Amino acid sequence: MIALSLQNLDIFYGETQITHNINVEIKEGESFALVGESGSGKSTVLKAIAGLAPEWSGSISAFGQPRSHNIDQQFAKHCQMVFQDPYGSLHPRKTVDATLSEPLAIHGVSNQNGRVEDILVAVGLDRKFRFRYPHQLSGGQRQRVAIARALMLEPKLLLLDEPTSALDVSVQAEILNLLKRLRREQNLTFLMVTHNLPVVSFLCDRLAVMRHGRIVEIADVAELKRGALKEPYSRELMDISSAHAG
């Protein structure tokens, strides 16, 4: 089954067209990466899917259900997003418990108490963190809370916007392991935006390289590992990454 399908997606901010003719199909259970530099439009694609950039034409559909241009509760149930910066994405005046219960309240789900406890276990946070505020947590713990919040409604598709780029390498490893385990346990589909190719190599099955709002290449991660991407721009990105890896 197709988890997410984007067809001829053009996204606009006012007069400015950000993306041109994006076509992507992601199968259920797959982990798909969008890579590219800042300004290539990769985060904008995620925002459009999540409903944060409502000016688009073309079609977005998840699990066969097309997304409307408005706030779409049905869609939100299947598709949730994790943001880049855990310092900015959690409400500073809400406890972890309040943050995690809110999606349940909005969607009228029962057994809030039990669900919050279960999810804390799933993302590897001790119970003592439940009534703390974000400023009492480290960056890695906050990102675990942000992932937990996205999983509260038991979505099938997770949008990840640079989920580890604000974290230390050692904490990044913990979060990447967590994402990999959750995907296996809950049969999730990932759409991840990143500019870190080694992370793609660890976590993803396929990738699309974006530049100036267009997809220039879609490839298997096996090709990335072999260093066999075809487009000159993809190779350029790959070379920069391997030069740094030393």
Partner 1 sequence: MSLLEIENLRVTFPTPKGNIDVVRGISFNLDRERLGIVGESGSGKSMTGRAILKLIRAPGRVSADTFRFDGIDLRNQSEKAMRSIRGARISMVMQDPKFSLNPVMTVGEQIAEALQTHKRLPRREIRNRVHTMLEAVRIADPERVATLYPHEISGGMGQRVMIAMMLIPEPDLLIADEPTSALDVSVQAQVLDIIDEQVKRKGMGLIFISHDLNLVSSYCDRILVMNSGTIVEECNAGDLRNATHPYTRGLIAAIPQLNETRDELPVLDRSTWVAK
How near is the Cβ of 39 to partner 1 at its closest, in Å? Answer: 8
- Angstrom CA distances, 157 to 26, 49, 142, stand at 10, 11, 21
Q: Which is nearer to partner 1, 154 or 168 (CB)?
A: 168
**Shortest Å distance, C-beta 68 to partner 1:** 33
The answer to whether the CB of 209 falls within 8 A of the CB of 193 is: no
What is the nearest approach in angstroms of partner 1 to the Cβ of residue 238?
7
The values of phi and psi at residue 50, to 5°, are -80, -10
Among 4, 7, 6, 9, residue whose Cα is nearest residue 62: 4
Compute the least distance from the CB of residue 124 to partner 1, in Å: 11
| Contacts of 32 by beta carbon, 8 Å cutoff, 6+ apart | 24, 26, 189, 190, 191, 192, 204, 205, 206, 207, 208
- Torsion, Cα 202 207 210 216, to 10 degrees, reads 140
Of 128 and 244, the one with the shorter C-beta distance to partner 1 is: 244
Choose between 58 and 198: whose C-beta lies nearer to partner 1.
198
Q: Nearer Cβ to partner 1, position 80 or 172?
A: 172
CB of 154 to partner 1, least distance (A): 24
In the complex, the smallest distance separating the C-beta of residue 221 from partner 1, rounded to whole angstroms, is 9
Nearer of residues 103 and 163 to partner 1, judged by Cβ: 163
As to burial, measured by CB atoms within 10 angstroms (0-12 exposed, 13-18 middle, 19+ buried), residue 130 is: middle
Whose Cβ is closer to partner 1: residue 6's or residue 178's?
A: 178
Instruction: Residue count of the chain, please give it.
Output: 246
Give the interface with partner 1 as residue ranges (CB under 8 A). 37-39, 138-139, 168-174, 176-177, 180, 195-199, 201-202, 224-227, 236-238, 240-246
Give dist(CA 192, CA 196) in Å, integer.
Answer: 11
Write the CB contacts of 198 (distance below 8 Å, at least 6 apart in sequence). Answer: 241, 245
